[in-house]
Amino acid sequence: MKKIYFVHIFVLFFLILNIFNLKNITLIDWDEGVFALQGKWLASSGGDGKPFNFQTPPLFQLIIALIFKVFGYRDTILPIISIIFSVLTIYVLFLLGSELFSEGVGLFAVVLFISTEYFLFFSKSGLSDATFLFFFITALYFFFYGLKTNLTRHYILAGVFTLLACYTKYSGPILFPIILAIGTIYRKKINKYWFLFSVLFPLLLLLPYLFIFLKIIKVSGISQRFGNLLGINHLKFLFYIIRFAPLIFVTAILYRIKHKPDYLLLITASIFFLILGFYYHYFRLAYPVIPILALFSASFLYKFKKMRNYLLILIFIINILFSWDTITYHSYLPESIGIKTYSLCRDYDIRYSFIVAPPNITFYIKGDILLPEDYLGIDILKKIKFLKEREIIERENNLLKDQQSVLLIYSSIFEETIKELKLAEYERQLIDSFEFIDAPVYYKDLFNPLRNEKQVYKIYTINLKNTNPQLLEKLWELGFNPRVSFLKFKI
């Protein structure tokens, strides 16, 4: 039986499990909310959601927007995208392993990879990491394949997927030094067009985005956004790899590097890890290293001819047991808060609400997000007519003056913002509170600043009828805080 049939079986099993599990998946992550809201904005030509803000490149949001346009604003669309790209990654990893080593190693690498907590988490999340990983691994596959075939079309395809990776995450450009280093080493043996199509063309096609990025964000904005995220975090990323893929890491480092394919993977992993380590320790950023380690691990196990299948099954089972809480985790809280909020606005005849909570909560609340007059890039958006008659709030026009009450939803992670407001000065009523239990991976992350903090969501109604003008203006100013969303309800 050909090894590819086993891959089909694993993929089918993966799809069945995740399709049945879709009803239990909600957007629990901050960035999932950002992607969903920006996807709504693109799908509605600026009439809904929140504008693209360059916090990440735009490709993932564009993919979401295209599907939103067809199927509506469904939260399940984001995990479905990750599921699809994870399936594609499984096949590419099998092809990569088969090309560099053998079909057996390719199959082993797939089994090891899909059993890691990294894969089990990101393959069903609404984050961009599964999509990025597909582009990243596919770019490597075509470049490595080009080294063998020496055909220009493979270098072109490597360049295309490198460009797609760069437009998905800001860690995408790490592919350039990887390809450049490997291409330079093998330059005398390969097609002279490798540099043109795999490096230069993608770089040139990335320049328009970089130009717009610099024009809107400016150098000072880049420093403000990303300056404090730089550091030396190699050991922290190493911890994540060991924590979320321990057996694969151990067996990978036991593998003896001897042949050309080994060095290709070693150079790739080393350059990626070296550059990545100078950025902030978001555990998801190390995800692209995992399939490479899976290939090394598979190569190591495959040498034990009589025992390899047993070792593979044992590691697979242990990995699943280590990740069981991630597999079974679900939370309906974001959606519940959205339903509760809309119900309260209808019952109390409330027209406006302040959302001092992560964007994934905002996504579930049925209301129009009003943009402040100083929102990033709003002048440019007006010029290109990409706000579609969007209502803009102005400081001098306080919409709360003729309201009886306003709703406030806030998360304890924004406690400082609420302290600045001095909520105790207002006549308010606590309607409900919820404690959010985050995904297990975030509690396993020793460097997560929120790891030991309770995340509590509270819903208040604030009585505006007897509020003095000074406090009313102070409350109105909350709508101009970048961390806050101001919503208008159509009741």
Cα gap 249→255, rounded to integer Å = 10
Same domain, 370 and 235: no
Task: Give the chain's largest Cα–Cα span.
Answer: 81
Are 477 and 426 within one domain?
A: yes
> What is the C-alpha to C-alpha distance for residues 201 and 204, in angstroms, rounded to an integer?
5
Instruction: Give the end of a domain, one of 296, 328, 360.
Output: 328
Closest CA to 285 of 453, 127, 416: 127
When pLDDT is averaged across residues 306-322 and rounded to a whole number, the result is 95
Same domain for 184 and 139?
Answer: yes
The pairing of strands 405-411 and 352-356 is parallel
- Residue 71 placed within a domain: no
| Same domain, yes or no: 92 and 129 | yes
What tens digit of pLDDT does each residue of 376-430 get?
777 777 666 666 677 888 999 999 998 999 999 999 999 888 888 888 888 889 9
pLDDT at 482: 87
Which pLDDT does position 417 carry in this prediction? 86
Alpha-carbon gap, residue 315 to 115, rounded angstroms: 8
Residue 31 inside a domain? The answer is no
Q: How confident is the model at residue 202 (pLDDT cuts 50, 70, 90)?
A: very high
Give the residue from 355, 371, 367 showing the smallest Cα distance to 46. 371
Asked whether residue 235 falls in the same domain as residue 258, the answer is yes
* Alpha carbon distance 82, 72 (integer Å): 18
Shared domain check, 244 and 97: yes
- The continuous run of DSSP H or E covering 264 comes out as helix 260-276
Neighbour tally for 221: CB within 10 Å: 14
Supply the range of the domain harboring residue 398: 333-488
pLDDT at 491: 64
- Within a domain: 62: no
Would residue 56 count as lying in a domain? no
Amino acid, res. 389: E
pTM value is: 0.95
Assess if residue 34 is contained within a domain.
no
How many domains is the chain built from? Answer: 2
CB of 227 closer than 8 Å to CB of 275:
no
320 lies in the same domain as 346: no
What is the pLDDT, as a whole number, of residue 1? 52
One domain, residues 390 and 311: no
35 occurs within a structural domain: no
Chain segment 94-109, per-residue pLDDT in tens: 999 999 999 999 999 9
Residues 275 and 403 in one domain: no
Dist CA 333 CA 343 (whole Å):
15
Short-list 409, 406, 427, 382, CA closest to 488: 406
